[in-house]
Structures are given as structure tokens and as C-alpha cells.
């Protein structure tokens, strides 16, 4: 009976070691999380949107930022594109991405409309607390936060 106990114990230890080795290997090969640091601009021109954000208790940190994107198509063709972030703002505790409403590209305030236009910014700057969708004409600010559930 003692030999059987030792055998079961060794089998459990072997299974545990294989499982831990798999977790360690997965951790080693996982891509590092990139944290994008938002450097504040020294001067922010006061626009209607900036004034609205400041009236609402936000500090506007940046002017428009261009995020270049390199795309590889079928492994041999390289394309370039870009995204624009209108501003970054903070409320003292959190940083938010600011997107301004565009007359030419109105956003439908539905789940799919918001997802199609803004989810990419959430995925690009995961450390942001959310996205502020600002419409200076209507003087509205919508705070949008995504939670991706699997």
C-alpha cells in the first residue's frame, strides 16, 4: 500500500510540474503590454470643446495626436494608415481619450454605432478610464467605457 501512495504522490507532482511549466512558457511567450505614456502639451488652444471640458471639471492635457499604423497585407504588402485622438483629458484621477463629434461623420448612439467608431481607441489605450465623446454644438459630453467580456 505504501508503494501505491508514493506512486500517486509522484504522479500528482509530475502533473503539477507540467502544468506550471506550461504556465511559465505561456508567460514567457506572451507579448509585453505596452503602456502608452501621454505627455501633456504646454499650451492648449481654447476651443469650444476645450472650454466645455474644462467647465465640466476636466483638465485637457493635449492637442490632436496622430497615431501611425503600419498594416501588413498577405505578408508581402505594407500599407500605412493613422488614427487621430482629438485630446487627452483627466479628471484628477483618470485619463480619458477625447473624441469630438463630427458633422460629416455623425455617430449613432447605439451599441453597434459606438463600438464601430470608438472601440479601437479603447483597445489602443487600455490604460485610459474611458472615452469622452464631446459635441461642442450641443454642449454634451458622453463618458463611454467598454468592458469586453469573453
User: Quick one: what percent of the chain has pLDDT higher than 90?
Assistant: 62
Q: How many Å is the maximal CA-CA distance in the chain?
A: 82
- Cα of first residue to Cα of last residue in the chain, in angstroms, is 46
Task: Count Cβ atoms below 10 Å from residue 53 Cβ, excluding itself.
Answer: 23
Contacts 24+ apart (CB under 8 A), 22-27: none
Same domain, 14 and 75: no
pLDDT for the residue numbered 24:
87
Structural domain boundaries enclosing 68: 48-144
Q: What does the alpha-carbon distance between residue 46 and residue 66 come to, in Å, rounded to a whole number?
A: 20
User: Is the whole-model pTM more than 0.75?
Assistant: no
Any idea of the CA torsion for 37, 41, 45, 50, to the nearest 10 degrees?
30
In 3-state terms the chain splits into helix, strand, coil percentages (rounded to 5) of 35, 25, 40
Domains: count for the chain: 2
Q: What does the alpha-carbon distance between residue 62 and residue 4 come to, in Å, rounded to a whole number?
A: 68
Examine the domain organization and report whether 76 and 111 are in the same domain: yes
pLDDT digits over 88-104, tens only?
A: 999 988 999 999 999 88
Weakest mean pLDDT among 1-5, 11-15, 128-132: 1-5
Specify if 40 maps to a domain: no
149 located within any domain: no
Q: Do 66 and 82 contact (CB within 8 A), yes or no?
A: yes
Amino acid at each position: 500500500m505504501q508503494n501505491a501512495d508514493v506512486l500517486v504522490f509522484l504522479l500528482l507532482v509530475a502533473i503539477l510540474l507540467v502544468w506550471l511549466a506550461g504556465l511559465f512558457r505561456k508567460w514567457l511567450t506572451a507579448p509585453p503590454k505596452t503602456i502608452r505614456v501621454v505627455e501633456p502639451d504646454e499650451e492648449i488652444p481654447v476651443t469650444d470643446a476645450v472650454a466645455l471640458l474644462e467647465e465640466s471639471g476636466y483638465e485637457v492635457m493635449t492637442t490632436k495626436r496622430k497615431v501611425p499604423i503600419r498594416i501588413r497585407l498577405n505578408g508581402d504588402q505594407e500599407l500605412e494608415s493613422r488614427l487621430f485622438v482629438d485630446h487627452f483629458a483627466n479628471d484628477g484621477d483618470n485619463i480619458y481619450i477625447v473624441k469630438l463629434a463630427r458633422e460629416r461623420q455623425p455617430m449613432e448612439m447605439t451599441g453597434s454605432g459606438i463600438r464601430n467608431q470608438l472601440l479601437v481607441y479603447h483597445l489602443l489605450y487600455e490604460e485610459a478610464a474611458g472615452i469622452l465623446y464631446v459635441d461642442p454644438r450641443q454642449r454634451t459630453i458622453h463618458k463611454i467605457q467598454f468592458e469586453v467580456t469573453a
